[in-house]
Structure 1
Amino acid sequence: MSTCRTGTGPLTAAELEDWYAVPLGRADGTWVRAGLVTSLDGRAAGPDGLSGSLNRGSAGDHAVFDHLRRWADVVVVGAGTVRDEGYGPLPAVPLVVVSRSGDVPARLRRAAESGTRDGPAVVVLDGHGEDVDPGRVLTEVASRGWRRVLLEGGPQLLGTWLEADAVDELCATVRPVLVGGDGPLLVPRSTSLRAPVGSTTHLLAWEGDVLVRTRLR
């Protein structure tokens, strides 16, 4: 049975801590959150193909984005999102880049291979032509003591993790805009789920946006 908690923003840092407090996770303490932004018609990017244009001007999404990064032990991102959105080493949290093709920006590849970095750590996991199994990622991060995992995209990565039943919670900002076109959906059409998943537990209205926390497993 699903429950629903509603509220309105803006929230202070302490109130965000309470709003996004996590229950007990898996037996080993792991908790996997996916943090993404979407339009009303389910698009994960603006007309230019970038999520940055979709969340531009969203105070609530930026506040939650910063909070989730502070919460996380590690951020996991697909290589396509890294290339499109211009990711570099993060200043305060380790970054894991998963890549089917091994096409990772040189700056991140050098940071991962040399051990020199601007941020705490960069790890590149190469699938050598295949999707990188979420179990492999979780094993790798757990071996480093990283239990609070934040997926930041993109949709293809989210779809792979959903199919593997590896996401505990989705934290999505729903922006009151329509994008149209054939851009990426929050969950790709190719994603195969055995049954609908998710129970909405938190809905936060913040300056026109709706921030949703949905427990997935």
Structure 2
Amino acid sequence: MRRLFHPSTDRRTAPQWSVEEIAEEYAYPPLGEGSGGAGSWLRGNMVASLDGAVHHQGRSQPLSCKADMRIFGVLRALADVVVVGAQTVRQEGYRPAKPRSGFAGRRAALGQAPVPAIAVVSAGLELDFTQPLFTEPVVPTLLVTGRGAPEGRVARARRAGAEVVFAGEGAAADPARVPAALAAHGLRRQLTEGGPKLLGEFAGAGVLDELCLSIAPRIVAGPAPRIMNGPLLPDPDEFTLEGVLEEGGFLFARYRRARAGTDRAE
């Protein structure tokens, strides 16, 4: 057992990490190590309260802080694509990613687009295509669904400028096939911001390689779900701790799936 933090530590003298240092801490591993196939790596990023709530009155912002938002921004700046569920897009009012000047050279050197694409996982494709996510993206927004999705809605999405990616033969996307489907479009460094249902589906499919969890020193009680909401796994999935940062009482933990790279999806 090791002591990682003690309240007697004078946190006022601790240096604030620069964006560059955070980027090095969260740099993606070699992409061949991921469990989703096609050289992808799927990382989750979520925030939770001390009592396990994933939001307060439907939004995650009340659980966040400036340090959390710095890490949030860096994780996006490192990714090829941000994967999110349709319900979260509606609740959080998702907007397209913005270019970050400090990462322009880094992204260009890796052959990345100026910003990560936003990929919305949706079966019904019932989205408001007049929102900025579809009208103002630097790179086209993607919709990830199954080949059995309603043809009329697929056509409507394409007319709105969205790129439709099929990951499965049914009406909905198969979570086990999403990482490889995105990687086939050159989007291999993957970041999912949930919500809980989508994150639970990725975990259940065995394709979640890493989880970045921000723990807020706040209690909200109420009916909010945990960061994952899905079927019970047959056996608990083991993750190993890769790092912990602290600022203002918030903890920023990074866990890597212990069996990443061994349970590949077909």
TM-score range, shorter chain: 0.7 to 0.9
SS in 2 for 1:106: coil
Compute the TM-score of the two structures, normalised by the length of structure 1: 0.85
Residue 26 of structure 2: aligned partner: 20
Report how far residue 162 of structure 1 moved.
Answer: 0.1
Report which stretch shifted further, 26-35 or 204-213: 26-35
Residue 55 of structure 2: aligned partner: 45
* Cα distance, 1:29–1:110 mapped onto 2, change above 3 Å: closer
Residue 86 of structure 2: aligned partner: 79
Residue 169 of structure 1 is aligned with which of 192, 206, 210? 210
Report how far residue 60 of structure 1 moved.
Answer: 1.4
Q: Is the 8 A contact 2:133 2:141 kept in 1?
A: no
- Alignment partners' CA distance in 2, 1:144 and 1:119: 17
Residue 119 of structure 2: aligned partner: 96
Residue 155 of structure 1: aligned partner: 196
* Cα distance, 1:118–1:195 mapped onto 2, change above 3 Å: closer
- Alignment partners' CA distance in 2, 1:82 and 1:26: 30
Aligned-CA RMSD value: 2.6
Q: Is the 8 A contact 2:31 2:188 kept in 1?
A: no
SS in 1 for 2:130: helix
Report how far residue 130 of structure 1 moved.
Answer: 5.2
- Alignment partners' CA distance in 2, 1:30 and 1:9: 34
* Cα distance, 1:36–1:201 mapped onto 2, change above 3 Å: same
* Cα distance, 1:101–1:9 mapped onto 2, change above 3 Å: farther
Q: Deviations over 1:167-201 (max 9, x none)?
A: 11100110001111111211226442522421112
Q: Deviations over 1:109-142 (max 9, x none)?
A: 993xxxx643212111234485521243223311
Q: Is the 8 A contact 1:73 1:93 kept in 2?
A: yes
Report which stretch shifted further, 204-213 or 82-91: 82-91
Q: Which amino acid aligns with 2:86?
A: A
- Alignment partners' CA distance in 2, 1:131 and 1:170: 24
* Cα distance, 1:171–1:15 mapped onto 2, change above 3 Å: same
- Alignment partners' CA distance in 2, 1:71 and 1:110: 19
Q: Which has the higher strand share?
A: 1
The 5 A counterparts of 1:109-120 are 111=134, 117-120=136-139
> Gaps spanning 5+ residues in structure 2: where?
6-13, 99-114, 150-169, 261-266
* Cα distance, 1:108–1:161 mapped onto 2, change above 3 Å: farther
**How many aligned residue pairs are there?**
208
- Percent identity, aligned pairs only? 34
- Alignment partners' CA distance in 1, 2:210 and 2:31: 10
Residue 31 of structure 1 is aligned with which of 41, 45, 60? 41
Residue 65 of structure 1: aligned partner: 72
SS in 2 for 1:107: coil
